[in-house]
A and B are shown apart, each in its own frame.
Chain A
Amino acid sequence: MIPTSTSTPPSAATAVSARGVDKTFSTKQGEVVALSGIDLDVAPGEFVSLIGPSGCGKSTLLRLIADLDSPSAGTVEVFGTSAHQARIDQRYGIAFQQAGLLPWRTVAGNIALPLELHGMAPAERTARVDELVALVGLGDFAQKFPDQLSGGMQQRVAIARALAEKPALLLMDEPFGALDEMTREYMQTELLRIAAETGAAVVFVTHSIPEAVYLSDRVVVMSPRPGRIADIVPMRLGRAADRADDLREDGAFFEMITAVREALHGAPVTGPRGVETR
């Protein structure tokens, strides 16, 4: 490809760009500062995890990017437009800690929901749903209802639904938090494969250090009261897309875990404290 001066404007070169973001909530006990002075850029196709103890505002930051809340100060831009416009334009897909499937719709029906709501033609829709069902490996379950699936399968449906409209940005709020360890590791490897196949940038909220390390290009370490970015740790583990399960036993993997732990605790640490290290 020949680069030209008329290609994408500079601001569109980032998937997410947060500048000086504050978020305060008013409660009965007064103002609570959830986020303070957040600056963060996520490049297209990059996998960024937000990690930190409870109350550090990592989920709040994700909600600001998704325009489910608006910042008290500062700006959040998604692909060069405001977060609000990005939501209207459907620039991102989202998955929550709960799968949040509609219980009265089949797997295929749930994945088709955003396509239906945005008026995709039925034939095209069926084809896309078939593709997505295959992508998340649920080929035999397309006509089952959510209550007939395991937690991991439900979460895979939720991911397929988030990917339905081929978003260039995927927002995930502890999507594997409720899964058992075995399923969780399997889902992590699946997510890396899917992210590589779709080329989407991912902002991933988690409280598990190994999960963040295994998945990410960069790990954003946050600290609480007020929520702010304590450190951004780049993962020197090769391209995320090339990672496989054996990385979990690699020396570099443990080095990165230590690096994130130290960033979390603000100094070299000797024992586990506060944050899950499993």
Chain B
Amino acid sequence: MTDAAIALTPPRRRARDRGARLRLWGYGLLGLLLLAVGWELYKAMGPADGVVIGDARVLPRTSDLAMPHVWEMATRLLEPVTRAEGARPLWLEIVLAAALTLGIAAAGWVVGVVVGIALALIMQRWHLAESAMLPWIVLSQTVPLIAFAPLVRSWGSRIEIGAFEWQDWMSVAVIASYLAFFPVAVGALRGLQAPDAIHLELLRTYSVGWWATLRSVRLPAAVPYLLPALRLAAANAVVGAIVAEVSTGLQGGIGRLIIQYAGQASGDPAKAWAPIAGAVALGLIAAGSVAILGLIFRNYRRAEATQ
């Protein structure tokens, strides 16, 4: 945001914005608190064997094994991972694993965004391409990740170009990008098609070509559509990275920890929930980082506010 734009915003509105933002955070925290209270209430009052309809258990058992107390899960975070000498505290282990996964997801996000925008540009430029490609793009998302994650890994392991050697984490990033590109391609296409007819006509009277129209009208007009798509892509990239870590067996990431700690749940039930909480936080951080882009491109969202 430019200084001029800040200066033009009436101070009262700025204060109201800040108030609204605080209230949003408040609601977020309240939601978290309600979740914890609900968890504990069910644990205290729910039937010990859970709720079973037919053969399906629709609500879990309330035992300490299935549903540890909220405070147990919280305090478990502060304790060491294992009883071994010099073991790191659990929270640190989670943070380190989450950081690795975040890095891979970020790489996947970047690849997905580049591919998604490129596809959208091609589809906007040639209507035929849109009819030909869009159904496949939608269909691509119905392929189960778990099915092709091992494939990507085995293809990747055969790639060796000069000094470049395919790393296992790259397979994970590719799979993350597979989930991330979809909302970007669809959102960017809608955005590129969004400009008012009057703006396109104006550019026509200037007799400028497709590139100039793209730069001066289509891309700016696409920003309001692109920002939510980028946020969705970030959340998708995190999910994709975690699932891919599990199915390709990549060590060190949060996906691996989820599986590993779940295996230890019978002896240490609270520990299994820590990487799950970490994964949730990871998704929030990834989506939240994209919100910063929204601030940078604030002026391109003016149309939303006025119309």
Contact = CB atoms under 8 A, between A and B. Distances in A.
A102 B196 CA distance: 10
B100 to A, nearest CB: 38
| In the complex, the 9 A-B pairs of residues with the closest C-beta atoms, listed nearest first | A147-B306, A100-B198, A103-B303, A103-B302, A104-B300, A88-B207, A117-B208, A143-B4, A104-B299
A115 to B, nearest CB: 10
Contacts of B220: 102, 104
Contact of A100 (B196, B223, B305): B196
A22 B5 CA distance: 49
Contacts of A104: 220, 223, 299-300, 302-303
26 contacts: A66-B205, A67-B205, A68-B204, A87-B204, A87-B205, A87-B207, A90-B206, A96-B201, A100-B199, A102-B199, A103-B302, A104-B220, A104-B302, A106-B4, A114-B206, A116-B216, A117-B203, A117-B208, A117-B212, A118-B208, A143-B4, A145-B5, A145-B8, A145-B299, A146-B306, A147-B306
Contacts, number: 59
Given A96-B198, A102-B217, A104-B223, 20 more contacts: A67-B205, A68-B205, A87-B204, A87-B205, A90-B206, A94-B202, A96-B201, A98-B198, A100-B198, A100-B202, A102-B199, A102-B216, A102-B220, A103-B306, A113-B206, A113-B216, A117-B206, A118-B208, A145-B302, A148-B8
B210 to A, nearest CB: 13
B206 A118 contact: yes
Interface in B1-34: 4-5, 8
A67 B205 CA distance: 8
Contacts of B203: 117
A48 B217 CA distance: 32
A94 B198 contact: no
A144 interface: yes
Contacts of A116: 216
Nearest to B213: A117
A100 B221 CA distance: 13
B205 A147 contact: no
Contacts of A143: 4
A96 B216 CA distance: 19
Interface of A: 66-68, 87-88, 90, 92, 94, 96, 98, 100, 102-104, 106, 113-114, 116-118, 143-148
B1 to A, nearest CB: 12
A48 to B, nearest CB: 19
A interface secondary structure, majority: loop
B211 to A, nearest CB: 11
Nearest to A100: B198
B270 to A, nearest CB: 50
Looking at B205, B212, B217, the one whose CB has the most chain A CB atoms below 10 A away is B205
Contacts of A94: 202, 205
A102 B216 CA distance: 9
B216 A147 contact: no
Interface in B185-234: 196, 198-199, 201-208, 212, 216-217, 220, 223
Given A96-B198, A104-B300, A147 B305 contact: yes
Contacts of B198: 96, 98, 100
Contacts of A92: 205
Contacts of A96: 198, 201-202
Contacts of B208: 117-118
A235 to B, nearest CB: 28
Contacts of B4: 106, 143
A161 B212 CA distance: 17
Interface in B262-307: 299-300, 302-303, 305-306
A172 to B, nearest CB: 13
B7 to A, nearest CB: 9
A114 B202 CA distance: 9
Contacts of A117: 203, 206, 208, 212, 216
A90 B220 CA distance: 24
A106 B302 CA distance: 11
Nearest to A84: B207
B223 to A, nearest CB: 8
Contacts of B202: 94, 96, 100
Nearest to A161: B202
Contacts of B217: 102
Contact of A144 (B8, B216, B303): B8
A100 B206 CA distance: 14
A153 to B, nearest CB: 14
A93 B69 CA distance: 72
A226 to B, nearest CB: 24
B32 to A, nearest CB: 36
A68 B8 contact: no
